[in-house]
């Protein structure tokens, strides 16, 4: 094994490299930009660019690319070489400050939600110096933000950076009221736990559904699934272990803090968790992690599936967004300390989050919506589509006491005794986990568990940061007017708990009773993407984003539109893929099997009328009836797709049609297909089965 500290970040133009390679004055100027957002002087940029280029060339680079996160759901890059012609017909390798700071990619083919017409092709990418440049596949990658010629934001990074600014400003105001004048900046931190599946590449290549849509559209359940719980935290198989080791090395060299790896609940499902970092970096790193997972898998003859629901009947994949807020002085603002009841500052931040999550439940649901994630939310494997918060016994006790205006008695920490002398005793954690909660307090951070595995984490974090910034602003406005700060804070906390405690739920979120109870409490239950999107453009939400300069009204509408369009297109592709599989593969395969059975029966009869042909006859009859049904369902799905065209001009109605009509027909077609699979001889079935896919690695 390579020397990890030595290889860690070796492909990153990070602080250490900057210190080594930049003149002192340049380094200092760049640090001021990184830390305080000061504009970068072009002369400084020129020196930085040149140093970056020399370093990148030593790492084998010939090209550079601005790397950005448009609304496609994947990252984008366009590579330019460093070459510059000289008078004598040769070339030299050059990279200017201008090229580092600004790019002008043609933006016409990226989704803009109707913000720009195609003829306004120009877009800008602008260097984000808070995220380090890195080297990958022979190119120098420069993380950038992406906007249109007229300044509308076309990416996920810009609003994230804006939301981080907002929460910082308001949190600093609050901390000033607590006398913390030394805090000048507050950042949100995130550690995203990433789930994924690994399947054999040879089997994958035989499945059009996996190739075109990332999930199986047909497939009968295997005799064994996850019912024995024998995969979760199970011993990692050699082939997977090799993949994981390779992945870790690649991630470490890119400066990504890959920390934990283990098998997940479903067969062939795994998880990787990094150590948390600033939200902006965590987002870039998570995008890179997903990309590298796919690339490394290929090297091992595997395919990494990041879809939220690749297989029916076993767990889908999610991403847990562990989120906290910390100061530039190193304080985690969500750390309750030893005595939460006396930690007014912590309780005030907690109150702001409770109020924010309650008032903007709909936005949090919107932030995790995707066609893929609709399969998970509400199924008994992921948190339901209802947003609620879990705080744990101790905090709940503190809040109850505050609400009632009585002193907090406290819960004694108990010693866990293992009853075996050689094992150490340890203190029991008072914040027992509630694994079913969508938004759980886990000691010194919140864990937002509704994200789908393929999601870019910027969206939920934009929403979270903005919501909490709004509440902190309200609190700071109110408290800065108070004559008696201590009394005013406690009163504000008490009032907030009273008004918003409906969002707190400590019970089992998977239980049916919760759905009923949540409705009584007036909480949203937005089951599908179209339902959620209708809330995106609610007046209060548009106002929130506009007020905090995160999205203009136009940009909010555009984002909503992009989501709706993407949803309809995704289901359309799935429906077309199903039809292709059904008509070209499944129908002919079952027909051929029926024909063989018929031939066998006829041959037997021609030998002697006494030979029984009951088995063949029954199967032929049964499968023939199913084939009729199957072909009827094919026709129905085709007709439904044609009918969809009527709603094409209204993104919301179009998506609703795909959700309610097209998807329903797909399910019906699948049911018969899967049923026929269970009766058709293996040699005739055109695809690797669930058993093959889930248990072959
Ligand atoms: P789990 O039991 O859910 O696996 P862990 O304690 O392993 O929880 O942490 C999960 C993730 O939370 C890790 O990525 C970790 O780095 C991250 N995390 C820990 N502290 C913070 C924090 N202050 N802010 C953001 N993420 C954090
Ligand atoms: Mg977790």
CATH number at residue 108: 3.10.20.70
Tokens at 344, concatenated: 């007014």
Q: How far is the CA of 445 from the centre of ligand 1 (A)?
A: 8
- DSSP 8-state class, residue 445: S
Q: Is 432 in the pocket of ligand 1 (CB under 6 A)?
A: no
684: domain CATH number is 1.20.120.1560
Atom of ligand 1 nearest to the CA of 275: 16
Cβ(107)–Cβ(116) below 8 Å: yes
d(CA 177, CA 166): 17
| Candidate from 256, 257, 273 with most ligand 1 atoms within 8 A of CB, to mutate | 273
Confidence (pLDDT) at 383: 84
**Same domain (yes/no): 393, 542:** yes
Number of residues assigned to the chain: 697
Question: Has residue 562 been placed in a domain?
Answer: no
Q: Is 321 in the pocket of ligand 1 (CB under 6 A)?
A: no
Q: Is 273 in the pocket of ligand 1 (CB under 6 A)?
A: yes
**Same domain (yes/no): 176, 278:** yes
Cβ(546)–Cβ(555) below 8 Å: no
Confidence (pLDDT) at 175: 98
**Same domain (yes/no): 302, 379:** yes
3-state SS, residue 196? strand
Q: How far is the CA of 583 from the centre of ligand 1 (A)?
A: 48
**Same domain (yes/no): 670, 527:** no
Confidence (pLDDT) at 426: 55
Question: Has residue 561 been placed in a domain?
Answer: no
Name residue, tokens 């900046």. 185
Could you please report the per-residue DSSP string of 74-131?
A: S-EEEEEE-EEE-TTS-EEE---HHHHHEE--B-TTS--TTSS-TT--BEEEEE-TTS
Q: Is 275 in the pocket of ligand 1 (CB under 6 A)?
A: yes
Q: Report the chain (697 residues): mean pLDDT per 10 consecutive residues.
A: 89 96 96 84 95 97 96 92 95 96 84 69 86 96 89 91 97 98 96 98 98 98 86 89 97 96 93 97 97 98 98 95 97 96 96 98 98 89 91 93 89 59 58 82 96 97 98 98 96 97 94 94 96 97 98 95 97 98 98 98 96 97 98 98 97 98 98 98 98 94
Question: Has residue 83 been placed in a domain?
Answer: yes
Residues 6+ apart with CB under 8 A from 82: 53, 57, 61, 62, 63, 64, 93, 94, 95
Which tens digit of pLDDT belongs to each residue from 253-278? 999 999 999 998 899 999 999 999 99
Q: How far is the CA of 434 from the centre of ligand 2 (A)?
A: 10
Q: Which ligand is nearest to the CA of 327?
A: 1
Q: Is 529 in the pocket of ligand 1 (CB under 6 A)?
A: no
From residue 660, alpha-carbon distances to 32, 310, 527, 638 in Å are: 53, 21, 12, 15
Q: How far is the CA of 615 from the centre of ligand 2 (A)?
A: 52
d(CA 370, CA 649): 21
Q: How far is the CA of 208 from the centre of ligand 1 (A)?
A: 37
Confidence (pLDDT) at 141: 98
Q: How far is the CA of 322 from the centre of ligand 1 (A)?
A: 6
Question: Has residue 387 been placed in a domain?
Answer: yes
Question: Has residue 533 been placed in a domain?
Answer: yes
Which tens digit of pLDDT belongs to each residue from 112-157? 887 765 556 678 899 999 899 999 999 999 999 998 877 788 899 9
**Same domain (yes/no): 318, 463:** yes
Q: How far is the CA of 375 from the centre of ligand 1 (A)?
A: 26
Domain boundary residue, one of 522, 551, 580: 551
Antiparallel, parallel or unpaired: β 63-68 and 139-148: parallel
Question: Has residue 560 been placed in a domain?
Answer: no
Residues 6+ apart with CB under 8 A from 143: 67, 68, 127, 128, 131, 132, 133, 157, 284
| Candidate from 264, 321, 436, 445 with most ligand 1 atoms within 8 A of CB, to mutate | 445
**Same domain (yes/no): 259, 131:** no
Question: Has residue 556 been placed in a domain?
Answer: no
Domain boundary residue, one of 486, 517, 551: 551
Confidence (pLDDT) at 89: 93
Cβ(572)–Cβ(641) below 8 Å: yes
Which tens digit of pLDDT belongs to each residue from 609-644? 999 999 999 999 999 999 999 999 999 999 999 999
Q: How far is the CA of 258 from the centre of ligand 1 (A)?
A: 12
Q: Is 231 in the pocket of ligand 1 (CB under 6 A)?
A: no
**Same domain (yes/no): 81, 150:** yes
Number of domains in the chain: 3
Domain that includes residue 591, residue range: 567-695
**Same domain (yes/no): 541, 636:** no
Q: Is 336 in the pocket of ligand 1 (CB under 6 A)?
A: no
Antiparallel, parallel or unpaired: β 439-441 and 389-390: parallel
**CA-based radius of gyration for the chain:** 28
d(CA 259, CA 274): 5
Q: Which ligand is nearest to the CA of 190?
A: 1
Confidence (pLDDT) at 120: 63
Confidence (pLDDT) at 211: 98
In this prediction the pTM is 0.95
Q: Which ligand is nearest to the CA of 432?
A: 1
**Same domain (yes/no): 509, 605:** no
Q: Dump strand ranges (E) for 209-317.
A: 258-263, 269-274, 277-278, 302-305
Domain boundary residue, one of 133, 155, 177: 155
**Same domain (yes/no): 412, 500:** yes
**Same domain (yes/no): 300, 429:** yes
187: domain CATH number is 3.30.590.10
Q: Which ligand is nearest to the CA of 444?
A: 1
**Same domain (yes/no): 210, 343:** yes
Confidence (pLDDT) at 38: 80
Q: How far is the CA of 322 from the centre of ligand 2 (A)?
A: 7
Question: Has residue 558 been placed in a domain?
Answer: no
Burial bucket for residue 343 (CB in 10 Å: 0-12, 13-18, 19+): middle
Q: Is 274 in the pocket of ligand 1 (CB under 6 A)?
A: yes
């Amino acid at each position: 094994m390579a020397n990890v500290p030595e290889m860690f970040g070796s492909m990153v133009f990070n602080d250490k490299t900057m210190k080594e390679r930049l003149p002192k004055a340049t380094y200092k100027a760049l640090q001021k930009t990184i830390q305080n957002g000061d504009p970068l002087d072009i002369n400084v940029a020129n020196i930085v660019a040149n140093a970056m280029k020399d370093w990148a060339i030593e790492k084998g680079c010939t090209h550079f690319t601005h790397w950005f996160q448009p609304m496609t759901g994947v990252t984008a890059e366009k590579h330019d070489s460093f070459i510059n012609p000289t008078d004598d017909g040769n070339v030299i390798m050059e990279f200017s400050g201008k090229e580092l700071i600004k790019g002008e990619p043609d933006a016409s083919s990226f989704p803009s939600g109707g913000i720009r017409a195609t003829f306004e092709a120009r877009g800008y990418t602008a260097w984000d110096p808070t995220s380090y440049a890195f080297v990958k596949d022979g190119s120098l990658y420069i993380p950038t933000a992406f906007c249109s010629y007229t300044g509308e934001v076309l990416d996920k990074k810009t609003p994230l950076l804006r939301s981080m600014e907002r929460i910082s400003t308001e949190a600093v105001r609050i901390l000033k009221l607590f006398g913390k004048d030394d805090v000048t900046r507050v950042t949100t931190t995130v550690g995203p736990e990433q789930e994924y599946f690994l399947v054999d590449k040879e089997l994958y290549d035989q499945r059009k559904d996996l190739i075109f849509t990332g999930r199986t559209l047909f497939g009968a359940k295997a005799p064994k699934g996850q019912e024995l719980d024998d995969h979760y935290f199970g011993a990692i198989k050699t082939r997977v272990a090799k993949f994981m080791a390779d992945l870790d090395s690649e991630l470490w060299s890119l400066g990504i803090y890959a920390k934990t790896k283990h098998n997940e609940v479903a067969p062939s499902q795994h998880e990787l968790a990094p150590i948390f970092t600033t939200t902006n970096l965590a987002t870039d790193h998570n995008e890179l992690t997903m990309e590298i997972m796919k690339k490394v898998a290929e090297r091992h003859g595997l395919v990494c599936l990041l879809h939220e629901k690749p297989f029916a009947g076993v767990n889908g994949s999610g991403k847990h967004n562990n989120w906290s807020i910390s100061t530039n002085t190193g304080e985690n603002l969500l750390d309750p300390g030893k005595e939460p009841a006396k930690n007014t500052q912590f309780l005030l931040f907690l109150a702001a989050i409770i109020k924010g999550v309650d008032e903007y439940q709909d936005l949090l649901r919107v932030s995790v919506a995707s066609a893929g994630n609709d399969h998970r939310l509400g199924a008994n494997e992921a948190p339901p589509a209802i947003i609620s918060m879990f705080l744990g016994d101790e905090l709940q006790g503190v809040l109850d006491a505050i609400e009632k205006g009585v002193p907090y008695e406290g819960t004694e920490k108990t010693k866990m005794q293992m009853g075996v002398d050689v094992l150490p005793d340890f203190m029991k954690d008072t914040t027992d986990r509630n694994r079913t909660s969508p938004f759980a307090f886990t000691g010194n951070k919140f864990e937002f568990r509704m994200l789908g595995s393929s999601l870019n984490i910027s969206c939920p974090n934009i929403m979270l940061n903005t919501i909490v910034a709004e509440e902190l602003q309200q609190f700071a406005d109110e408290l800065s007017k108070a004559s008696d700060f201590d009394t005013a804070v406690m009163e504000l906390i008490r009032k907030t708990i009273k008004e918003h405690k409906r969002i707190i739920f400590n019970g089992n979120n998977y239980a049916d009773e919760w759905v009923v109870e949540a409705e009584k409490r007036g909480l949203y239950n937005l089951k599908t993407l179209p339902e959620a999107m209708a809330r995106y453009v609610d007046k209060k939400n548009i106002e929130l984003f506009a007020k905090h300069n995160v999205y203009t009204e136009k940009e909010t509408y555009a984002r909503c539109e992009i989501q709706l369009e993407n949803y309809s297109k995704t289901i359309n592709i799935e429906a077309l893929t199903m039809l292709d599989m059904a008509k070209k593969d499944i129908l002919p395969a079952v027909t051929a099997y029926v024909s063989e059975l018929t031939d066998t029966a006829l041959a037997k009869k021609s030998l002697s009328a006494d030979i029984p042909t009951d088995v063949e006859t029954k199967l032929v009859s049964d499968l023939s009836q199913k084939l009729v049904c199957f072909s009827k369902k094919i026709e129905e799905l085709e007709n439904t797709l044609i009918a969809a065209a009527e709603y094409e001009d209204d993104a919301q109605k179009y998506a609703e049609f795909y959700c309610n009509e097209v998807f329903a027909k797909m399910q019906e077609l699948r049911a018969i297909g899967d049923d026929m699979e269970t009766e058709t001889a293996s040699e005739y079935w055109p695809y690797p089965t669930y058993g093959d896919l889930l248990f072959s690695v």
